[in-house]
Structure 1
Amino acid sequence: MNQSHTYDDVPYPDLCYAYTHPGRIAAIATLLGMQPTPVENCRVLELGCAGGGNLIPMAYGLPNSTFTGIDNSARQIEMAQQKATALGLDNITLQTMDIMEVAPDFGEFDYIIVHGIYAWVPPAVQDQLLAICQQNLAPQGVAYISYNTLPGWHMVLMVREMMQYHTRKVTDPRQRADLARTLINDLVQMIPESENSAYAAFLHTYADMRFDKLGGHTDWEDSALLHDELSEYNTPLYFHQFIEHAAQHGLQYLAEADFTQVMMHDLPENTQLRLQEMAHDTIELEQYLDFVRHQTFRRTLLCHESVDVDRTLRAERIRHLYISSRAVLLADNDGNEYFRTHDGSTFPAEHPLTTAALRYLSQISPRAVRFEPLLKQACARLNLAQPTPEDAHMLAINLLQAFTYSLQMAEMMTCSPDFTIEISERPLASPLARLQVQIAPLISNLRHEQVELDGLSRAVTPFLDGQHTLPMLVDELADMVAAGQLAPSKEHATPEQIRKQLDHDIRYALRWLSRAALLIG
């Protein structure tokens, strides 16, 4: 029995994917010697755009660029068109179309995005995806393709096969997803001496990671499970196999969209040396890295085989990029200062100019600035009228190194998203956020990141229309509490206590929303 479910039946989660943003892709291309089209005026194609959750936020944030999205789900395209119309976007085209119908005359694009398709379609469609990335990609264009990888997916394939067997007689998609989850959770308990079983530990870890992947939003979690582990096609492959397939279509490997994935900073020195001995080129090195890391997923960037890729990272190339950081300055027990990010990455605070620059970026986080203004701010903090050429060069080198450590330590883009971290008298959230908060559990910020709001932030965001002052916001939410639409933070509180607490909570929420890149005024 064919138990596949169309995307009309079960729409894919309406999400944005940070690594697909042209500004991030173009920064990597720039660092590797390419001359990508400026993202402020570029052409973007997304194959399999679903409900527009990834493409529409890009079109909103880059109004002078043009965006084209195709999908064979008429229902999802209709949903996407409704959202684009609600936002008044005139720079995006969304159409129901089969990928197999895309021909060279469909148009030329500077960036082509293929997220979550390649490993989930038959070989003929995989060939067509790469053919499009060759025939419809501009000479200095970059294509993004994500896919499941081996060896990591070998273990997940085992789970997929068990879930497929357990649900083989069920046709209702939601019931299939529920039964699949129940099976894995039950197996953890059924395995003898499960507390000492590596097999049980793997299943438990898998369940924790997969079944709460989207923050407990059941519909979206069902959809992700049905279109991944329970999909008709799911063919993970080794990295080198994907690169060989791309080469057959005149495409070459550029890098990973998650640039830190190609680095070895997280590995012991002896491991790094052994890998360098084993590998004879970039592809071999990264394949061995996948073996070491048990890699399950890649976000690969491709370009034309004719492009001269320079894999020597040169400090001068960051001078035209926008840099941001979410690092905080800490000190160890001996008083030695260092920067740390939420993902656990650390970077030494040894070079005064670099330390001053990262402290400034931390202060304005998550805003981004170009290298020269950043250099000026760092000098001002050190009371330097002019840095030495050596110091400026060292700052560039250190920022580039920080970028290879962690994107939270130093992220680079070719554009600066338009949002504010200042809270005005009448706060204004982006129209995109105010639309999405009413229809989706996760929303897209102006840095093209997924953001989950708590109850109060979700309640206040629709009123951040540039018309409401803080007292007016308190009035609106107090009315919601009185109507039972919003739970008070304290039970049995008086109306006056509720208003006082709301005033405090809204102020906090506004500060959080500003740092979450959701405010534009």
Structure 2
Amino acid sequence: MKDETPYDRLPYTDHAYAESHPNRLAVVARLSGWRAPELAAARILEIGCARGGNLLPMAMSLPGAELVGIDPSQRQVDEARRVACAAQLPNVRVLQAGFETAELEAGSFDYVLCHGLYSWIGVEARRALLRAIGQWLAPGGVAYVSFNTLPGWYERMAAKDWLRRAPPNASLASLTWLREQVSPELGHYRRGLEQVLARLHETEPAYLVHEYLSEEHHPVYAGAFLAEAAEAGLSYLGDAIAQNVALELLPDDVASRVHELDVAATQEIIDFVKGTSFRRALLVRAEACTERGWRCPKRLDPAALASLRMASRLREELPGSDFFRGSRESVQVPDEAARAALRELERLAPRSLAFRELPGAGPALASELFDVWLATGELDLYAHAPPMASRAAERPEAPPLVRWQAAHGATLTNLWHQEVRLLEPLVRFALARLDGTRTASELAREAKRAGLVADEASVRIAMDLLAASALLSR
């Protein structure tokens, strides 16, 4: 029997991370002038895939791709395989192996993903991890590596060290006690403790154990990470959430200060200015950079939008208005061509549209929409569009994985690899049964027999909500 890992005893939280999807990686690559592999038939590896919460929805949205996940926890691998089988995902394999022992073909993966591992292993192990990523990554491929970052993590270190001193099974109570003893005059320190407490209350116990109580936990400066990546033959491409490192969103003095600095020094200054605590670094092979004559740009290229697709969560507040409402706040869009494009994207939502198909497509519109994307986060850029419905068909169909998630009370992941919170019993009941064989009236009758209050109209409303949430393939 293989050695048991801490994740066998307590599996980690099971989530999809939209920023780690190869679709996002390909977008940042294009904006940075890097030609990344096409997604439709890509080979994708996730290191530390756990129960498949991130990997399996990727397989759902990229049916022509080949996906491989590795994880040392046999329990988590078994669960991932079970769900993959139930969700009819023949394009994914999950292997029980760590990055130190996995036998994978060198240079064979277009995208290599590693979320939540680098900061939780020792120094020599993380260097070995980066060497493995460099070995498995294809010459033109893109890797994603997330890690906890200084200086931002300094604000959480006191809470972490206190929690490691707390009695077993009394961590939250102990941290609550500490917060109450801290004088209100120490407002910044007290608020930091409160933020950690709030985060721990909204997550599963596994997050506390593996994030704050682990013996191995090493936040690092971006420069230290990039130095280790360079030793492994990897170069920095950008951040998966480009807005986090965009000089355009920082004071002009920051851009002036970093003008002559190298990539590592630039990223560290950005982190000091923003107090960054977590990064999602994208890496490429250094030898490929030399062959292509490519250097990491200080700023992204708006003209690259011409080769991408767009989807929007912005909604026009009033007909003819300059204001569009997002998930958090409203934004004014003075440019008429940009407003026309946003109206068209609103009409098609949640589906995307190729930029070249937007009304008024051209360099000026690309510049305007790039600014909206950068400033609001309410536009999504894509290199690939999975099949999805913007309206429910007469007999709607949801992907088998989504139906499995609905039936088993799991977090829903839509076709854009975004997590969706839909808790209404009728909505989840309907979603679990949308296999393309049932009409709204038939589902309403099934729901009534199950003891739910339902009629055809309410089921149709549920179906429309599911379509708007990018959960329907037809």
TM-score clears 0.5? yes
Alignment partner of 1:309 out of 287, 295, 313: 295
Distance 1:204 1:119 in 2: 23
Are 2:88 and 2:400, in contact at CA under 8 Å, matched by a contact in 1?
no
Give the direction of change, closer, same or farther, for the CA distance of 1:472–1:5 in structure 2 (3 Å limit). same
Q: CA deviation at 1:402?
A: 2.5
Identity of aligned residues (%): 31
1:41 partner letter: A
Match of 1:286 in 2: 267
Give the direction of change, closer, same or farther, for the CA distance of 1:341–1:286 in structure 2 (3 Å limit). farther
What are the within-5 Å matches in structure 2 for residues 102-251 of structure 1?
102=102, 105=105, 108-167=108-167, 170=168, 176=169, 179-192=170-183, 194=184, 197-213=187-203, 221-251=204-234
2:242 partner letter: F
Are 2:69 and 2:94, in contact at CA under 8 Å, matched by a contact in 1?
yes
Match of 2:338 in 1: 354
Q: CA deviation at 1:51?
A: 0.8
1:182 partner letter: A
Any idea what SS the aligned residue of 1:100 has? coil
Q: CA deviation at 1:340?
A: 4.1
Any idea what SS the aligned residue of 1:323 has? strand
Match of 2:396 in 1: 427
Which runs of no fewer than 5 residues in structure 2 stay unpaired?
none
Any idea what SS the aligned residue of 2:133 has? helix
Distance 1:361 1:237 in 2: 40
Are 1:104 and 1:132, in contact at CA under 8 Å, matched by a contact in 2?
no
Alignment partner of 1:299 out of 272, 280, 291: 280
Number of residue equivalences:
463
Match of 2:323 in 1: 338
Q: CA deviation at 1:345?
A: 6.9
Deviations 1:209-230 (A, max 9, x none): 33214xxxxxxx1111111111
Q: CA deviation at 1:351?
A: 2.4
Match of 2:310 in 1: 323
Distance 1:224 1:41 in 2: 34
Give the direction of change, closer, same or farther, for the CA distance of 1:503–1:30 in structure 2 (3 Å limit). same
Deviations 1:286-320 (A, max 9, x none): 32221122111000001112311362544442222
2:216 partner letter: Y
Deviations 1:388-445 (A, max 9, x none): xxx722012222232322432x221110121101112222222111111223431211
Are 1:195 and 1:201, in contact at CA under 8 Å, matched by a contact in 2?
no
Any idea what SS the aligned residue of 2:139 has? strand
Any idea what SS the aligned residue of 2:94 has? strand
Give the direction of change, closer, same or farther, for the CA distance of 1:315–1:187 in structure 2 (3 Å limit). closer
Match of 1:58 in 2: 58
Match of 2:77 in 1: 77
Q: CA deviation at 1:371?
A: 1.6
Which runs of no fewer than 5 residues in structure 1 stay unpaired?
171-175, 214-220, 380-390, 487-497
Q: CA deviation at 1:188?
A: 2.8
Q: Does structure 1 residue 453 correspond to structure 2 residue 457?
A: no
Q: CA deviation at 1:39?
A: 0.4
Q: CA deviation at 1:156?
A: 1.1
Deviates further, 66-75 or 318-327: 318-327
Distance 2:210 2:144 in 1: 20
1:321 partner letter: L
Distance 1:345 1:113 in 2: 34
TM (normalized to structure 1)? 0.83
1:272 partner letter: D
Distance 2:71 2:248 in 1: 39
Q: CA deviation at 1:196?
A: 7.0
